[in-house]
Structure 1
Amino acid sequence: MEKFSIRKRIKSFTYAWKGIGSFIGKEHNAWIHLTITTAVIVSGFLLNITSAEWIAIVLSIALVLSAEAFNTAIERLVDLTSPEENYIAGDVKDIAAGAVLICALAAATVGLIIFVPYLIRLL
């Protein structure tokens, strides 16, 4: 087992930030998620949602962005290991994309549960 090293831990954070930068910089779906994230955060401040609602929103945002990042990593790995068309490789990518959809639908549901009552009160 390797000895604990602060330097190596800091370096691992550098790699993680590099990965986040690559994800945000190269993935159009990440831009879509971040645009929606911005709208949700602004809405949360404007509607003065509760702390518990913020917790649900933050966890939902983290879930969707994480799922999209995992999907991106899976797609890139599949493309690297199976550059030619392959049914199983395509199925793997579809399943990963489906996981993102499940998370996004759950997050949208959380958003509706939180924001619809506020919007009804405004009307």
Structure 2
Amino acid sequence: MRLDLKDSRIFSAVRLMSSFRFAGNGLKLAFLEPNMRIHFAAGTIVSAAGLIFSLTRLEWCIIIGLIAGTMALEIVNTAIEKAVDLVTKEYKPLAGMAKDLAAGAVLLYACAAVIIGLIIFIPKL
């Protein structure tokens, strides 16, 4: 009996490598989006500030988590936008709501990240 590589119960190095290749391609696609480049630039600036102000290990963990979380949420937002665009090219209120909700989630998380960043960095000034 031939085993199907798409069967989720089967582990193989080929499937694992394919998964990493697909994920890497997803990251490349994400960096084509202007908002992702903005998040990356902000993360780079915050990381540089972290080096200048000698953050503690815990502070670095928090900052890295915030940067990665914001970028991951932006990728999910982009995926939702692309999926909605695939389904319909015409304006539909529910499609617009789905896109707005996903963008709102990114905005909420980014605002919380800024507040937490200020809590970490302001005492160091």
For Structure 1 versus Structure 2, the TM-score category normalised by the shorter chain is over 0.9
**Structure 1: runs of 5 or more not aligned:** none
Q: Is 1:28 aligned with 2:34?
A: yes
2:47, 2:41 → 1: CA distance? 10
Aligned position for 1:39: 45
SS of equivalent to 2:55:
coil
Aligned position for 1:118: 124
2:62, 2:106 → 1: CA distance? 17
Deviation at 1:43, TM superposition (A): 0.4
* AA matched with 2:22: Y
1:80, 1:55 → 2: CA distance? 37
Deviation per CA, 1:45-94: give whole Å up to 9, x if none. Answer: 01001000001101101110011000000000000101111000000000
* AA matched with 1:58: I
Higher relative contact order (CA 8 A, sep 6+): 1
Normalised TM-score (structure 2): 0.92
Q: Give the alignment's Cα RMSD to 1 decimal.
A: 0.8
Aligned position for 1:19: 26
Aligned position for 2:12: 5
Deviation at 1:23, TM superposition (A): 0.5
Deviation at 1:3, TM superposition (A): 1.8
Which portions of structure 1, spanning 4 or more consecutive aligned residues, are displaced by more than 4 angstroms?
none
Identity value in percent: 42
Aligned position for 2:3: none
More helix by share: 1
SS of equivalent to 1:49:
coil
Normalised TM-score (structure 1): 0.93
